[in-house]
Chain A
Amino acid sequence: MNSVGQIEVSIKSEGDIVAARRTVRDAAIQVGFGITDVTRIVTAASELARNVFKYAGEGVMTWRQLEEPGRVGIELRFIDQGPGIADVQLALQEGYSTGAGLGLGLPGAKRLMDEIDIRSAPGRGTTITLKKWRMI
């Protein structure tokens, strides 16, 4: 699998959530996604960028373009050194939240993207990788 470029956005303030959305919007348009998929991808990024800020205080988001025969895609990765997720399966359930949210952030991001990979353990931070593909 080829990858093109890699751009990093640091997330340590509320304003950085907006910056992450804008970066992802531009990236998704650049990869050639239509407006509905762009909106799905940006919304997923917004949920996860906010989770980084809310639960870990700071972290980074990186994105890169994916290229495979017959399809291109976008990969978003959110990395933090925060408290981690004790039970990933539970965190993916709709309505479950340890914070004051709706519990739709992580499950919502999963629904909006094609692939999600969560690496986390208590005290060891969290890395979440999302992919969305577009046939060419």
Chain B
Amino acid sequence: MNNESISVIKVRNILMVTMPSDPDDSTISSLQNKVLGAMEQTDAKGVILDISTVETLDSFFARTVSETAQMVALMGGRTIVAGMRPAVAVTATQIGLTLKNIETSLTVDRALDLAAIERPQH
């Protein structure tokens, strides 16, 4: 049905994680393992989760994103969710999906700025 998978690449010290536009539940569930595994293997400082092509963010998807961000935090990293579409933001707010304690940015570009500015590397 849906063969698109999550892409994870390391850019500098950040993991760029890109969600496909309409992932099935198994693909969504694989987010945690992929991200946590890559954090360990690459010694990344944080994660930018690009959801700019995502058209539907339901409660299952949102919960997985929240839990993954919490786990990344426990491993000493930060997560920035980037590129949420306006219609998705309206819908998420209406059903109470607040993504509490998760940083967000309008675009991946701005997420990279945010990651660089607030925690400069010494």
**B92 (CB) vs chain A CBs: closest residue:** A43
**Do residues A36 and B22 form an inter-chain contact, with CB atoms below 8 A?**
no
Which of A40, A43, A94, A111 neighbours the largest number of chain B CB atoms within 10 Å of its CB?
A: A43
Does A35 have its Cβ within 8 Å of any Cβ on chain B?
yes
Q: Interface of chain A, helix or strand or loop or mixed? A: helix
Place the interface of chain B in its size category.
20 to 34
Bound: A63/B86 CA distance, A: 26
Q: Evaluate contact between B91 and A40: CB separation under 8 angstroms.
A: yes
Number of A-B contacts (CB under 8 A): 76
Contact of A43 among B25, B56, B86, B96 (CB under 8 A): B56
Bitwise, A37-52 to B at CB < 8 A (1) or not (0) is: 0111011001100100
CB neighbours (8 Å) of B24 from chain A are: 14-15, 17-18
Contact with A along B33-74 (1 / 0, CB 8 A): 000000000000000000000011111101100000000000
Residues on B with C-beta less than 8 A from A15 are 1-2, 24
Q: Does B95 count as interface, using CB distance less than 8 angstroms?
A: yes
Cα–Cα distance between A34 and B90 once the two chains are bound (Å): 13
23 residue pairs from A and B, CB less than 8 Å apart: A15-B1, A15-B2, A18-B24, A22-B22, A36-B87, A36-B90, A39-B85, A39-B88, A40-B90, A40-B91, A43-B57, A101-B60, A102-B59, A102-B62, A104-B96, A104-B97, A105-B58, A107-B95, A108-B94, A108-B95, A108-B97, A112-B91, A112-B95
Interface residues of A (CB under 8 A from B): 13-19, 21-22, 25, 35-36, 38-40, 42-43, 46-47, 50, 94, 101-102, 104-105, 107-108, 111-112
